[in-house]
Amino acid sequence: MLSRTVQKNLFKRSNAVSSVRFISAFSEIPLAPPDKILGIAEAYNKDSNPQKINLGVGAYRDDTGRPIIFPSVKKAEEKLLTAETEKEYTGIIGNKNFQNIIKNFIFNNSGKDVNGEKLIKDGRIVSSQTISGTGSLRVIADFLNRFYNTKHILVPKPTWANHIAVFNDAGITSEFYSYYDTSVNGLDFENLKSSLQNAQEGSIVLLHACCHNPTGMDLTAEQWDEVLAIVQEKSFYPLVDMAYQGFASGDPYKDISLIRRLNELVVAGNIPSYALCQSFAKNMGLYGERTGSISIVTESQEASTRIESQLKKLIRPMYSSPPIHGSKIVEQIFADESLFQSWLSDLNSVVGRLNSIRTKFYEKLDKTNYNWEHLNKQRGMFVYTGLTKEQVIELREKYSVYATEDGRFSISGINESNVDYLADAVNKVIAK
Amino acid sequence: MTVTSYYSNLPEAEYDPIVKIMSQYASDPSPSKIDLTIGVYKAENGDSYLFPSVAKAKKWLHANDPGHNYTNMAGIPEFTAGAREVIFGKKSAIQGKIASLQTISGTGACHMASLFLGECGLNNYYIGTPFWSNYQPMLEHAGAKVNHFRHYNPETREVDFESTVRALNEAPKDSVFLFQACCHNPTGADYSKKQWTQIADIMKERELFPFFDIAYQGFSSGDKDEDAWAIRHFYEKGLNLLACQSFSKNMGLYSERAGCLHVVVQEGVENPDTLDRVQGMLVTFFRMECSFGPAFGARIAAALMNKPELKEEWDQDVAQITERLQNLRKSVLQKLTAMDTPGNWDHVIKQNGLFWYTGLNEEQVSRITKQEHVYMTFAGRVNIASLNESNIDQFCRSLDKIVRETK
């Protein structure tokens, strides 16, 4: 044994010279901060309390706390299983059919938006399939950094943490505009407008199309009009992120009034160009399949040709082409009217459960010393409770209720069997 | 600022030349046209090919549906562990020296690798010419400097080992050498074990960093272990290195984008903290580009790598494909020899993998395309897999004719 150890040490020493530089190269790498949401999941998994609740997850769970496969998605996969005979590459920006689905479904509102229809007909929309929402944000961030004249983005405070990380990493500086006032648990609309008015002209402005993440608080149609007036006045470049289409109203067509309004302004010549990032992660439950898109509404058909060629040039060295299992599911669903209708109804029932459990949770909360009215105004997968960091920690330590420290609850973690326990725990923490 | 100035300076980007050739092929009305351009394996009848093992894995996955939930940011654990074992072998895979990240196939792996090395301060690259056309833009995208040496000698039609050694000896310390572990694209000319051994020795001595791309593991010898010999040798030598792995070709999963990046951290055993930092940095970078790798392809690949009966079948699929490629190569050589085509054509059987770097010059390629309706890349690269019983005679006759015409 001894001789083996010596040999092992000798072997190590003989490598020491060449390894030194790389040891230091790797050692200089700082430890990346752990992802908060993953940290919560880990702590939750270790907790032995049978009544523990995980409110950190950003994915849908059914009333038994389990993830679901949309029945329409399962049917589409059954069709694929028999129809698919190869897996050869799709285009760098995905195939035409997928791109047309995005254009027609979202921009043309399936034939109900005259302005969107005109933009499509005039060749003014360039769409590319991407690696879900994150990938679409990354592609547009790199694209704008290369070609747009202002490398500065305005994002709502608060926003999804990865928005800032993606843009900063792509070389675009970010700045908050006011959005939500935690002291009153509501939209801070006056400051929202004034902070936009005071921001740098020509900036990129990030707008959440619906179900604002993390607050769940959206703008009304009238408020959007006021914001879009500032966008025009300040020549901002609108970048719309739409991760939860359908989760506000249960109807994907109703949730995209911002797109309708933007199309109208573009056709009228008041806004020259805007971009949309979207994904089917939430509204088809395709999370892990990474299915999304980036679309750029351009100034002309000729500009579209140039922009499309640059998108391909940008994406090719990053990942060559997108994964197709998820996009084929989307194509199957849109190709078959009855499957499409069952998807709409699947989505509607998912959102229905979230809304009914939201109401139930609200009903059970103690309102004597705390105003919970904001819960009824918020939409989507989250409740932005307004609880302080200390209260969130107390919930975790005393009651095994796991949420992010900004007080965001993922409603999909709440169900008939734990809503009483949860409301009770929150009431106790508030009452203190 | 005027509203029309948004992208006013935006030029139209040039397309990859291969796209041009493919569109020429598509519009050629000749019934006997032959397409030998794209790097995709074709079945004997010329059709696209679904691996029988993959077809079974798809059925199994459908019956045992794990759904579409978010996976892990570092990748699906069964996938990354299996992928590591395929490259490094069972023993090394679990030694605690390797950080792995599921990526958007091979391109995504190379892209993440160059971002990662940039973070480590390694930005000076060497690649042997000719090379896969995406390498240079990929490295430049990450802000790296790219130097060239000659990988292939068109006169000998073999690797240019002298040029390689010269570059290794002249490169400044901490330079990165991008090597293809087997089945070099586009030349099919690989280093011998003896040459790899010498390369490893120089790299260790001169403190250079090996960056391996392995896109065709198994297509050289038919045995995936054998084809990973170079990487395993460098690992055993105690070198830090990284390997970019794709299952596009050796599982035929092209559009599912199943790939993996592995970073070997030799001090990982003594210093698990360093390994954790490397792993953490990979995930952080990925979070800012993709968040998660796509699940479906990785699950198919994981099934093929981890389920014994599927693994055996996958091994056989790869061996059969390689055997067919080797037989086609032999057949080309026999036919050219029988016609007494001017020149030496031995390189068709010496080269490995999907591609044969014919050595036809630009004029010959242009003629064989225009006159004979045989399509290959401008550099004379032929996809061997696109040959079959119905077109191989015509291909060899066309080649013979053009070579004689231009002699």
| One-letter-per-residue 3-state SS of chain A | CHHHHHHHHHHHHHHHHHHHHHHHHHHCCCCCCCCHHHHHHHHHHHCCCCCCEECCCCCCCCCCCCCCCCHHHHHHHHHHHHHCCCCCCCCCCCCHHHHHHHHHHHHCCCCCCHHHHHHHHCCCEEEEEEEHHHHHHHHHHHHHHHHCCCCEEEEEECCCHHHHHHHHHCCCEEEEEECEECCCCEECHHHHHHHHHCCCCCCEEEEECCCCCCCCCCCCHHHHHHHHHHHHHCCCEEEEEECCCCCCCCCCCHHHHHHHHHHHHHHCCCCCCEEEEEECCCCCCCHHHCEEEEEEECCCHHHHHHHHHHHHHHHHHHHCCCCCHHHHHHHHHHHCHHHHHHHHHHHHHHHHHHHHHHHHHHHHCCCCCCCCCHHHHCCCCEEECCCCHHHHHHHHHHHCEECCCCCEEEHHHCCCCCHHHHHHHHHHHHHC
CB contact under 8 A, A29 and B290: no
Among A260, A296, A247, CA closest to A130 = A296
Angle between helices B193-206 and B161-170 in degrees, nearest 10 = 10
In three-state secondary structure terms, B52 is helix
A chain contacts of residue B280, beta-carbon cutoff 8 Å: 29, 31-32, 34
Please provide residue B362's backbone torsions phi and psi, each rounded to the nearest 5 degrees: -55, -40
CB contact under 8 A, A29 and B283: no
Q: How far apart are alpha carbons B179 and B191 in whole angstroms?
A: 10
Q: What is the predicted pLDDT for the residue at A24?
A: 52
Complex ipTM value: 0.90
CB contact under 8 A, B7 and A31: no
CB contact under 8 A, B40 and A88: yes
Nearest residue, CB atoms, B254 vs list A74, A87, A287: A87
Nearest residue, CB atoms, A325 vs list B105, B240, B294: B294
Among A256, A219, A293, CA closest to A113 = A256
Residue boundaries of the structural domains of chain A: 36-70+340-430, 89-335
- Residue window 44-103, chain A: list those with CB within 8 Å of chain B: 58-59, 67-69, 73-74, 77-78, 81, 84-90
Q: Is A35 on the interface with B (CB under 8 A)?
A: yes
Nearest residue, CB atoms, A138 vs list B173, B238, B288: B288
Q: Does CATH number 3.40.640.10 belong to domain A89-335?
A: yes
CB contact under 8 A, B15 and A11: no
Mean pLDDT (chain B) is 94
Measured between CA atoms, the residue of chain A closest to residue B119 is A29
Q: Is A38 on the interface with B (CB under 8 A)?
A: yes
Of A3-17, B169-183, B291-305, the range with the lowest mean pLDDT is: A3-17
3-class SS letters over B239-297: CCEEEEEECCCCCCCHHHCEEEEEEECHHHCCCHHHHHHHHHHHHHHHHCCCCCCCHHH
- β-partners of residue A186 are A181
Determine the Cα angle at A127 with ends B50 and A71, to 5°. Answer: 55
Cβ-Cβ contacts under 8 Å for B254 (sequence gap 6 or more): A87, A88, A89, B40, B105, B248
Residue B369 to chain A, least CA–CA distance (Å): 24
B chain contacts of residue A128, beta-carbon cutoff 8 Å: none
CB contact under 8 A, B68 and A326: yes
Q: What is the predicted pLDDT for the residue at A33?
A: 65
CB contact under 8 A, A149 and B294: no
CB contact under 8 A, B256 and A324: yes
Q: Is B4 on the interface with A (CB under 8 A)?
A: yes
Among A257, A175, A262, CA closest to A218 = A257
- The DSSP 8-state label assigned to residue B384 in this structure reads G
Measured between CA atoms, the residue of chain A closest to residue B235 is A15
Assess contact for A407 and A214: CB atoms under 8 A.
no
CB contact under 8 A, A28 and B121: yes
Residue B340 to chain A, least CA–CA distance (Å): 37
B6-56 residue pLDDT tens: 676 677 877 677 778 888 999 999 999 999 998 889 988 888 899 999 999
Q: How far apart are alpha carbons A357 and A370 in whole angstroms?
A: 20
Assess contact for B224 and B232: CB atoms under 8 A.
no
* Residue A16: Cβ within 10 Å count: 10
- Residue window 239-268, chain B: list those with CB within 8 Å of chain A: 239-240, 252-257, 265-267
- Please state, for a pLDDT cut of 90, what percent of chain B lies above it: 88
A chain contacts of residue B240, beta-carbon cutoff 8 Å: 19, 22, 26
Among B339, B357, B337, CA closest to B347 = B357
**Which residue in B3, B4, B62, B69 has the most chain A C-beta atoms within 10 A of its own C-beta, making it the best mutation to test that interface?**
B69
B178-235 residue pLDDT tens: 999 999 999 999 999 999 999 999 999 999 999 999 999 999 999 999 999 999 999 9
In a 13 Å sphere around the CA of B283, the CA atoms on its Cβ side amount to: 21
CB contact under 8 A, B69 and A287: yes
CB contact under 8 A, B70 and A288: yes
Residue B324 to chain A, least CA–CA distance (Å): 19
How far apart, in Å, are the Cα atoms of B60 and each of A76, A327, B63, B305, B369?
A: 17, 21, 5, 14, 44
CB contact under 8 A, B58 and A81: yes
Scanning the structure block, which residue is given the tokens 């911002």? A258
Q: What is the predicted pLDDT for the residue at B259?
A: 98
Residue B398 to chain A, least CA–CA distance (Å): 28
Q: How far apart are alpha carbons B228 and B181 in whole angstroms?
A: 7
In three-state secondary structure terms, B307 is coil
Measured between CA atoms, the residue of chain B closest to residue A86 is B50
In three-state secondary structure terms, B72 is coil
B332-346 residue pLDDT tens: 999 999 999 999 999
Q: Which runs of consecutive H residues, i.e. helices, occur in B307-352? A: 308-339, 347-350
CB contact under 8 A, B204 and A290: no
How far apart, in Å, are the Cα atoms of A418 and each of A54, A57, A132, A397?
A: 11, 16, 32, 17
Q: Is B209 on the interface with A (CB under 8 A)?
A: yes
**Which residue in A8, A12, A29, A279 has the most chain B C-beta atoms within 10 A of its own C-beta, making it the best mutation to test that interface?**
A29
Angle between helices A389-399 and A419-431 in degrees, nearest 10 = 130
* Residue B3: Cβ within 10 Å count: 13
Cβ-Cβ contacts under 8 Å for A37 (sequence gap 6 or more): A56, A57, A58, A404
> What residue type is A65 in one-letter code?
G
Q: In what order do the strands lie in the sheet with B98-104?
A: B98-104, B258-264, B241-246, B209-214, B176-180, B124-129, B145-150
Q: Is B238 on the interface with A (CB under 8 A)?
A: yes
B65-122 residue pLDDT tens: 999 999 999 999 999 999 999 999 999 999 999 999 999 999 999 999 999 999 999 9
* Residue B43: Cβ within 10 Å count: 14
- Residue window 323-352, chain A: list those with CB within 8 Å of chain B: 323-326
Give pLDDT tens digits along chain A (432 positions).
Answer: 333 332 233 223 233 333 434 445 566 666 766 666 667 888 898 999 999 999 987 889 999 999 999 999 999 999 999 888 878 888 999 999 999 999 999 999 888 899 999 999 999 999 999 999 999 999 999 999 999 989 999 999 999 989 999 999 999 999 999 999 999 999 999 999 999 999 999 999 999 999 999 999 999 999 999 999 999 999 999 999 999 999 999 999 999 999 999 999 999 999 999 999 999 999 999 999 999 999 999 999 999 999 999 999 999 999 999 999 999 999 999 999 999 999 999 999 999 999 999 999 999 999 998 999 999 999 999 999 999 999 999 999 999 999 999 999 999 999 999 999 999 999 999 997
In three-state secondary structure terms, B177 is strand
Scanning the structure block, which residue is given the tokens 């009966």? B309
CB contact under 8 A, A303 and B59: no
Q: How far apart are alpha carbons B238 and A18 in whole angstroms?
A: 9
Assess contact for A197 and A230: CB atoms under 8 A.
yes
A chain contacts of residue B12, beta-carbon cutoff 8 Å: 305-306, 309-310
Assess contact for B149 and B178: CB atoms under 8 A.
no
- β-partners of residue B294 are none
Assess contact for B319 and B222: CB atoms under 8 A.
yes
Cβ-Cβ contacts under 8 Å for A348 (sequence gap 6 or more): A246, A250, A251
**Which residue in B18, B120, B255, B287 has the most chain A C-beta atoms within 10 A of its own C-beta, making it the best mutation to test that interface?**
B255
CB contact under 8 A, A306 and B290: no
CB contact under 8 A, A323 and B69: no
Q: Which runs of consecutive H residues, i.e. helices, occur in B156-267? A: 161-170, 193-206, 224-227, 229-236
Nearest residue, CB atoms, A25 vs list B7, B16, B120: B120
Encode B352-371: b = buried (16+ Cβ within 10 Å), e = exposed: bbbbbbbbbeeebbebbbee
Report the catalytic residues of A: 160, 241, 282
Q: What is the predicted pLDDT for the residue at A326?
A: 97
Nearest residue, CB atoms, B256 vs list A74, A288, A323: A323
Examine domains A36-70+340-430 and A89-335 and report if their fold is the same: no
**Which residue in A231, A310, A318 has the most chain B C-beta atoms within 10 A of its own C-beta, making it the best mutation to test that interface?**
A318
* Structure tokens given for B15: 């397309």
Q: Which CATH number fits domain A36-70+340-430: 3.40.640.10, 3.30.70.940, 3.90.1150.10, 3.40.50.1370?
A: 3.90.1150.10
Assess contact for A120 and A107: CB atoms under 8 A.
yes
Cβ-Cβ contacts under 8 Å for B210 (sequence gap 6 or more): B176, B177, B179, B200, B203, B234, B239, B241, B242
Q: How far apart are alpha carbons B127 and B278 in whole angstroms?
A: 24
Q: Is A3 on the interface with B (CB under 8 A)?
A: no
* Structure tokens given for A98: 């997928």
Nearest residue, CB atoms, A290 vs list B1, B276, B290: B290
CB contact under 8 A, B13 and A310: yes
How far apart, in Å, are the Cα atoms of B11 and each of A200, B90, B133?
A: 27, 50, 21
Q: Is A23 on the interface with B (CB under 8 A)?
A: yes
Q: Is A169 on the interface with B (CB under 8 A)?
A: yes
Q: Which runs of consecutive H residues, i.e. helices, occur in B28-134? A: 52-63, 77-88, 90-93, 105-119
The mean per-residue pLDDT over the stretch B261-281 comes to 91
Assess contact for B96 and B269: CB atoms under 8 A.
yes
B chain contacts of residue A27, beta-carbon cutoff 8 Å: 271, 274, 277
